Amino acid sequence: MSHSTSHAAPAGGTTGSDVPRSRVIVASLIGTSIEFYDFYAYATAAVSVFPLIFFHNAQNDESTALLLSMATFGAAFVGRPLGAILFGHLGDRVGRKATLIGALLAMGIATFLIGLLPTYFQIGLWAPAMLTILRFCQGLGLGGEWSGAALLATEYAKDGKRAQAAMWPQLGAPIGFLLANGLFLLLVRGFGHDSTNPDLGGDFLTWVWRVPFLLSIVMVAVGLYVRVRLEETPVFQRALEDDTRVKAPLGEVFKRNWWELILGTFVMYATYVLFYLMTTWILSYAIGKTQNGMLGVKYADFLVLQLVGILFFAAFVPVSGWLADRFGRKPTLLVVSGLMVVFGLSFGAWLSPAAMGQGDALNVPSMLAFLAVGMALMGLTFGPMSAVLPELFPTNTRYTGSGIAYNVSSIIGAAVTPFLAGWLVKEFGVATVGWYLAITSVITMAALALSPETRHADLHEVTSARERRAAAR
């Protein structure tokens, strides 16, 4: 393997291309929007539907049924790093375009099949087993999707504007949330589903819940059309011309970039914790029964508040890209992580049933303010990640390295978060959920402090910044 490039590359790490910028934006955005739509559809159903129809044998203890459903939610996070390895190998060896198409198909087909599954009432324990397998396959696809979309955006970016270009795939998260949960809200309202008094024989729990999963196949078809018309990124094209690819990207990244893997994993850690606290856990806490120490809000009513809150997520993703390009990745993320510590420490005073109110007495302005602050912080911390993680790794292992870091972080930061937060509320009260967020944010700040500033990294390099510093000594 060569450790230097044969071309002079600009500091921004891009080459000329005839591909319209708008096509790159749409291709990177539409895939992640579809992927996150699929993921959120499952997350919403895992809280409000699956405990009732896939874990009915645990209904004598509703908290146990919810925890079992959250455990299947976490199965995807086991599949995600495996997907990062599989699709990362293909992305670093075969190319970004073909790999992105494969990841999209894996996620989309698994989601469609969830909409066809029989329930516990029809086939017993086989139902949750099959649900878990398909959830795993969802994670497999998402494990390859995000890093590919991030590379697509960054490897086409203009000099000095890489974080702003890389924010486009990040916008897929709030867009997917709005699509999935907006559709669920329309269906819940339209068919009169009441989460506080669910009718197991009603239309919603019999067949309507399947609609968001089945409709995903239409979105996948649109995504495939856009991506098939895409060309290979100029950075990967140069790697082909220079013959700098490696035969085994996985082995190479663990051998040469193990430190970057560790840093990337923990740089992303608190972002994942905040993400799933503000989307999955807060929904379960809000609609949970008051006798279990939760707020007892109707599902449809709270979903409206979440949909308003997610607008702050979407609004602050572009802001984060501008800040990361203007002031650097490290300073921006260190400040945001510090604010996340403060936010976490406020949970007890903000979210306790005594302060927030329960059921129809919920303090709606206070809950909206909580969601707005949390989602704004989510946009600020999530936005730069599609630039930060790829920039840590050299060209020939970038897909594999960034994908593994992103998805291993999903295991430690996201897979256990809804489950652990639910347990913390049950055993110790809601304030401890905020302490959990604060502690993880401090860990992320430590990883950021140890990380290099990558704003001016050359994406054509086939050695990491750490290796270049060692060679210069």
Which CATH number is associated with domain 21-232+243-472?
Answer: 1.20.1250.20
CA atoms of 419 and 80, how far apart (whole Å): 18
In contact, 291 and 283? CB cutoff 8 Å = no
Q: For residue 465, name the pLDDT band (cuts at 50, 70, 90).
A: low
Look up residue 320 and give its two tokens. Answer: 């984060």
- CA proximity to 79, closest of 133, 117, 24, 128: 133
Q: For residue 57, name the pLDDT band (cuts at 50, 70, 90).
A: low
Between 463 and 141, the more confident residue is 141
Neighbours of 76 (CB within 10 A): 29
pLDDT at 99 over 70: yes
Structure-token match 């993320």, residue found: 333
- What are the residue boundaries of the structural domains of the chain, listed by start? 21-232+243-472
Residue 361's contacts (CB-CB under 8 Å, 6 or more residues apart) are none
Neighbours of 159 (CB within 10 A): 11
Q: What is the mean pLDDT of the segment spanning 297-323? A: 91
Most confident listed range (49-53, 181-185, 440-444, 468-472): 440-444
Q: What is the mean pLDDT of the segment spanning 80-97? A: 82
C-alpha to C-alpha distances, 296 to 29, 331, 347, nearest whole angstrom: 36, 40, 18
Backbone angles phi, psi at 18, to 5 degrees: -90, -5
Q: What is the mean pLDDT of the segment spanning 271-286? A: 89
- Exposed e or buried b for every residue in 449-468, given b needs 16+ CB within 10 A? eebbebbebbbbbbbbbbbe
Radius of gyration of the chain from its Cα atoms, rounded to whole angstroms:
22
* pLDDT tens string 225-259: 888 877 776 677 776 676 666 777 888 889 988 99
CA atoms of 16 and 19, how far apart (whole Å): 9
Look up residue 298 and give its two tokens. Answer: 């109707």
In contact, 148 and 165? CB cutoff 8 Å = no
Q: What is the mean pLDDT of the segment spanning 363-386? A: 95
* pLDDT tens string 378-387: 999 999 998 8
pLDDT at 65: 66
- CA proximity to 174, closest of 99, 89, 275, 94: 275
Structure-token match 């992320």, residue found: 444
pLDDT at 397: 85
Among 55-59, 300-304, 395-399, the least confident range: 55-59
What is the model's pTM?
Answer: 0.82
Neighbours of 247 (CB within 10 A): 9
Q: For residue 1, name the pLDDT band (cuts at 50, 70, 90).
A: very low
CA atoms of 8 and 29, how far apart (whole Å): 30
pLDDT at 13: 41
Look up residue 254 and give its two tokens. Answer: 């663990």
In contact, 461 and 397? CB cutoff 8 Å = no
Q: For residue 16, name the pLDDT band (cuts at 50, 70, 90).
A: very low
Residue 330's contacts (CB-CB under 8 Å, 6 or more residues apart) are 448, 449, 451, 453
Q: Residue 56, class by beta-carbon neighbours within 10 Å (0-12 exposed, 13-18 middle, 19+ buried)?
A: middle
